[in-house]
Amino acid sequence: MIPKKLINLLSIGLLGVMPWCVSAAELHPEVRQICQQIGKKLASVSPDECLSHQYVAPRFHSVRGQPILETHFPARKGSEERVPRVLFIGGIHGDEYSSVSVTFKWLNTLKAHHSGAFDWHFVPLLNPDGLLQRKSTRVNANRVDLNRNFLPAPEFPEPLEHWQKRAKKRLRYFPGHAPLSEPESQVIHQLIDEYQPTVIVSVHAPHGILDFDGGIQPPRKLGPLQLRQLGTYPGSLGNYGWFVKNIPVVTIELPHAGIMPETRDIDRMWTDLVRWLNYKARGMSKVAQAGVVN
Ligand SMILES: [Zn+2]
């Protein structure tokens, strides 16, 4: 006889699609290969360091067929329904090296100290084609800025129209011919629907600030980064996450794309983020359940 709990899971179609049910794939040849490439490209991440994490068997790929790595740190058993769920994304822009390297440092921290107080899902390098080439680029292999390729909020202009009229057609901000035209942005779209994060965190460089889109009190600072809300662009993850999906988005802008922050600052940013998640996101998930966000 099949246990009732299993029948429930099967009936709502969760088994087999939730990545955290998929076996880890640390020795998967695609994982091995991309970790070698990441280690070769980034001075601050070794292939062994990249391979030391347990990845979900690759199920998403970039335009050029590179695997898009995912790693999951589950909530403590029995607390899954109550704890904040954090979708964490590094390397949306391929030439922001530090955003990938620092994400790996935080993965190391989690690997050593994960307590199950939160549920984390990491995509440490969303744009492998942009990073893993001789001259790294902000855009993906189709020359699309992934951070302008999401669905815009209804009251915002179409990203392509905004780019033509307001962004002076600068190539590095090209949003693609239609929202979600790119496999890499589709990954985030799918993960948001499947994983249903409480908060999204994305890491960029080099503006040296903390940005925030959401209807709750943002973190005042993360380590040396002070809050400075820049406003949102149609098609950006902040615009999509908050204005379309009602999920607060923390955008970490590291000070330099090619220079790592001090270890002390990397640790302080992490501690401040976790502290904010603890106080704010817990309260927010209760508010969200009651349906009165904002
Ligand atoms: Zn960026």
**Given this model, what pLDDT does residue 277 score?**
92
Q: How far is the CA of 93 from the centre of ligand 1 (A)?
A: 5
pLDDT in tens, 195-232: 999 999 999 999 999 999 999 999 999 999 999 998 88
Instruction: Give the 3-state secondary structure of residue 252.
Output: strand
Share of the chain above pLDDT 70, in %: 86
Average pLDDT for the chain? 88
The residue extents of the domains of the chain are: 27-290
Q: How far is the CA of 237 from the centre of ligand 1 (A)?
A: 11
**Which one has a higher pLDDT value, 116 or 2?**
116
**Given this model, what pLDDT does residue 40 score?**
97
For range 67-80, the mean pLDDT: 94
What span, in angstroms and rounded, lies between the C-alpha atoms of 165 and 152?
16
**Given this model, what pLDDT does residue 74 score?**
96
Q: Is the pLDDT of residue 7 over 60?
A: no
Q: How far is the CA of 99 from the centre of ligand 1 (A)?
A: 8
Q: Is the pLDDT of residue 116 over 50?
A: yes
Q: How far is the CA of 81 from the centre of ligand 1 (A)?
A: 32
CA 90 centroid distance within chain:
5
**Given this model, what pLDDT does residue 24 score?**
57
**Given this model, what pLDDT does residue 80 score?**
86
**Given this model, what pLDDT does residue 281 score?**
64
pLDDT in tens, 146-156: 999 999 998 89
How confident is residue 110, by pLDDT bands cut at 50, 70 and 90? very high
**Given this model, what pLDDT does residue 31 score?**
96
Q: How far is the CA of 92 from the centre of ligand 1 (A)?
A: 6
Q: How far is the CA of 149 from the centre of ligand 1 (A)?
A: 13
Amino acid in position 181: S
Q: Is the pLDDT of residue 172 over 70?
A: yes
Peptide bond connecting 206 to the previous residue in cis, omega within 30 degrees of 0: yes
Q: How far is the CA of 269 from the centre of ligand 1 (A)?
A: 18
Q: Is the pLDDT of residue 292 over 50?
A: no
Q: How far is the CA of 147 from the centre of ligand 1 (A)?
A: 8
Q: Which fold has domain 27-290?
A: Aminopeptidase (3.40.630)
**Given this model, what pLDDT does residue 230 score?**
83
Amino acid in position 101: S
Q: How far is the CA of 184 from the centre of ligand 1 (A)?
A: 15
Q: Is the pLDDT of residue 4 over 50?
A: no
Q: How far is the CA of 205 from the centre of ligand 1 (A)?
A: 6
Q: How far is the CA of 136 from the centre of ligand 1 (A)?
A: 13
For range 86-96, the mean pLDDT: 98
β-pairing, 199-204 with 249-253? parallel
Q: How far is the CA of 174 from the centre of ligand 1 (A)?
A: 13
For range 237-247, the mean pLDDT: 96
**String of DSSP letters for 210-242:** EEEESSSPPPSEETTEEB------TTSHHIIII
Which H or E run includes 209?
A: strand 209-213
How confident is residue 285, by pLDDT bands cut at 50, 70 and 90? low
Q: How far is the CA of 286 from the centre of ligand 1 (A)?
A: 31
Q: How far is the CA of 24 from the centre of ligand 1 (A)?
A: 29
Token pair recorded at residue 1: 């006889």
What span, in angstroms and rounded, lies between the C-alpha atoms of 76 and 83?
9
**String of DSSP letters for 49-74:** HHHTS-BBPP--B-TT--B---EEEP
